[in-house]
Amino acid sequence: MSIGTVLLRLRDEFPEVTISKIRFLEAEGLVEPQRTPSGYRKFRSADVERLAQVLRMQRDHYLPLKVIREHLDALARGEQSALPATGGVRELVGGRETEPGRPTAARIGRAELLAAAEVSESDLDEWESYGLVAPTAEGGYDAEMVTVAKLVADLGRFGLEPRHLRAMRAAADREAGLIEQVVAPLRRHRNPQTRAHAEATAKELAELSVRLHSSLVQTALGIRLH
């Protein structure tokens, strides 16, 4: 299955899951999909079930990803492994502990970002100075920042420096602004279902925007290279 198919299968039970979340869980070693020769992810049914287990343990037990990974790895080895008591677990978010049962956005600390993206402190400092990577207002980094950091590092291997990527950041900010204009009236609505629909609409618009951007770049390259 493609990552898009996996997303559709998971959304019935986990409506808030996103492709970015799945990629983050992969980066954290919670799932290891196969890769095609061209680099596309291919998930098996076992991978989807493992992702569902991870999401359930986050939702129902508020466990840190490290604890979830160790628990699932032990089960995969055929070992008996009991989940830690929910009340005794606290999760680090942005370098601070959160109380068990208190829902939070997926965030990681600076050290975790450096390790996951396999970059140095100086690299991250430079990227932050150009606005390519940024911590949240509450501290720490959104899970999507791991993907951003990896992509910036990959582009750097082709000689593209952070100063070259500022235009991409500016374009992304403009696209986000357009999406915000569309969903802002929905977010202000009194009906909770309408407000929830705003989030789903924003995600769908973001995915369409990314696909359009990719197609436009490929089209422009096709014209220039031929």
Residue 102 lies in a domain: no
**Domains: count for the chain:** 3
Look up tokens 């990719």; give the residue.
Answer: 214
Compute the mean pLDDT over every residue in the chain, rounded to the nearest whole number: 82
Burial grade of 209 (CB within 10 A; 0-12, 13-18, 19 or more)? middle
User: In this structure, are 5 and 66 located in the same domain?
Assistant: yes
User: In this structure, are 152 and 169 located in the same domain?
Assistant: no
User: In this structure, are 56 and 42 located in the same domain?
Assistant: yes
User: In this structure, are 47 and 125 located in the same domain?
Assistant: no
Residue 101 lies in a domain: no
Residues paired with residue 141 on neighbouring β-strands, in sequence order: 108
In which element (H, E) is residue 22 found? helix 19-27
Last residue of a domain, one of 60, 89, 118: 89
Q: Report, as an integer, the average pLDDT of 177-186.
A: 90
Non-local (6+) Cβ contacts of 79 within 8 A are none
Q: Looking at the chain, how many residues does it have?
A: 226
Rounded-to-integer distance, Cα 46 and Cα 76, Å: 11
User: In this structure, are 3 and 81 located in the same domain?
Assistant: yes
Residue 103 lies in a domain: no
User: In this structure, are 55 and 28 located in the same domain?
Assistant: yes
Rounded-to-integer distance, Cα 189 and Cα 194, Å: 6
Look up tokens 């954290």; give the residue.
Answer: 28
User: In this structure, are 14 and 82 located in the same domain?
Assistant: yes
Look up tokens 């980066």; give the residue.
Answer: 27
- Domain CATH code at residue 37: 1.10.1660.10
Last residue of a domain, one of 160, 182, 199: 160
User: In this structure, are 177 and 132 located in the same domain?
Assistant: no
Rounded-to-integer distance, Cα 75 and Cα 52, Å: 15
Quick one: tokens of 93? 């978010």
User: In this structure, are 134 and 169 located in the same domain?
Assistant: no
**What pLDDT digit, counting tens, does each position of 10-43 carry?**
988 888 788 888 988 888 889 999 988 888 889 9
**What pLDDT digit, counting tens, does each position of 195-225 carry?**
778 888 888 888 889 889 888 988 998 877 7
Closest CA to 64 of 97, 26, 31: 97
Sort strands 41-42 and 96-98 into parallel, antiparallel or unpaired. unpaired
Residue 143 lies in a domain: yes
pTM exceeding the 0.85 threshold for the entire prediction: no
Residue 99 lies in a domain: no
Count CA atoms within 13 Å of residue 202 on its CB side.
19
Range of the structural domain that residue 15 is part of: 1-89
**What pLDDT digit, counting tens, does each position of 115-129 carry?**
877 888 999 999 999
DSSP one-letter string for 55-80:
HHHHHHH---HHHHHHHHHHHHTT--
Confidence check: pLDDT of 90 > 70 = no
pLDDT band for position 181 (50/70/90)?
very high
Last residue of a domain, one of 118, 136, 160: 160
Quick one: tokens of 160? 């593209």
CB 104 within 8 A of CB 93: yes
